[in-house]
Structure 1
């Protein structure tokens, strides 16, 4: 890429894909393996990081956490997801308009696309690869759950990674981060984007309604990604 004009960060779950069944099964297995009894209640997942979901799930199920709880559960969750690689293709689905939006933005000069997700990196990468969405995404610069960081902090890290990889730097210069837009589906994502100072295209393809996304302050709200022209127009206008 000769010139980086904009960075588009995609949330994965309920924005690009729906792999809810596989996620629930993987969590249940990871809980059984790490706690030694069946999972009764899974914490809400929209717009949250894996660490938030794990700690709340443990609390919901009356588990006393220790410093090792998160690390052990994440390891088990990674293994459970890897074992269900085929299930992602069988039971997961790509949401309407996602492939077309990714492909169309890839043709806009100077546009880099990656992900900003609350999922841990191995599981996030599996989702987009197995469901055929990785071609236009540079996953090396993505923001993934890594233990304790908020989605706003992960967004900033993704921007920094993109700039370090694609923006030429002369000695002594500060790397200029590219104009960035987040595409996501939850009110929590709207708040994270604004904490990071980034506009958001909110898609009502998850648990948040269009009214809730507007109320949260999203710059653009779409019912789905099906209108490719609307997606591309919103991205270019918000990163102009």
Structure 2
């Protein structure tokens, strides 16, 4: 079971933007003027575009330096997460419901770098439901569809499970999440809690679209249906 993080499980956009601004200043010595939109993309891609739109020509050293600076800036702001952010409605109950499905491993498939993903979920008590070591993250410079295979390989190594298209389900809020699931040939539950509409999620390839995570039983039922070949 693969979960996206931002606007699926949590919304901490204000803190994230502040951390990006601090990281940009540390790496470039200049103030951030424009932050590239997330749109379901990994931090590595957002970093490169942010440098470009602010007139910085990236070199080989920029990405690792920016990732380290972003991790430090976000960690320094971790006490603001529950004040300036929120868990998405129903997130904790949905994670609990899916955890009760026999043989399920819950992890993350997210554009967020790993250290920040841990802090985001920990701030709202969601960290206990996922295995962070099995996921795919934004510092890994791969398309999301390739990160699916990375996560599947990690689950197989750690748990001995055979992870294929029929046994892997992604829950995410963006059309890019749905496209990644389609390219990776896995099941996908779209949650219309982010910037993509239900129609956009369906068009991008989501098997099931829910308005949000508030109906935990519906989330678990959709996971069971897709995993049993019902998509």
| TM-score of the pair, normalised by structure 1 | 0.91
Residue of 137, 154, 163 corresponding to 1:161: 154
Structure 1 position 47 matched with structure 2 position 47: no
For the Cα contact (< 8 Å) 1:43–1:60, is it kept in 2? yes
**Paired residues of 1:92 and 1:131 also in contact (CA < 8 A):** no
2:187 corresponds to which residue? 199
Aligned to 1:212: 200
RCO comparison, higher one (Cα < 8 Å, 6+): 1
Partner of 1:177 in structure 2?
163
Q: Secondary structure at the match of 2:206?
A: coil
Q: Is 1:68 the counterpart of 2:68 in the alignment?
A: no
Alignment of 1:1-240 (within 5 A): 8-167=1-160, 176-177=162-163, 179-240=167-228
State the alpha-carbon separation in 2 of the partners of residues 197 and 115 from structure 1: 17
Mapped partners of 1:129, 1:196: distance in 2: 29
2:137 partner SS? strand
Structure 1 contact 46–206 (Cα < 8 Å) conserved: no
* CA displacement at 1:91 relative to structure 2: 1.1
Deviations 1:21-59 (A, max 9, x none): 000000001111111111111111021001110011111
Do the aligned residues in 1 keep the contact of 2:169 with 2:187 (CA within 8 Å)?
Answer: yes
Normalised by the size of structure 2, how large is the TM-score?
0.95
2:94, 2:220 within 8 Å by CA — same for their partners in 1?
yes
Structure 1: 5+ residue stretches without partners:
1-7, 168-174
Q: How many residues align?
A: 226
The question of whether the paired residues in 2 share the 8 Å contact of 1:11 and 1:184 is answered with yes
Q: Quote the offset at 1:164 in angstroms.
A: 1.3
Instruction: Classify the secondary structure of the residue corresponding to 2:177.
Output: helix
Unaligned 5+ segments in structure 2 are: none
Equivalent-residue separation in structure 1 for 2:158 and 2:205 (angstroms): 31
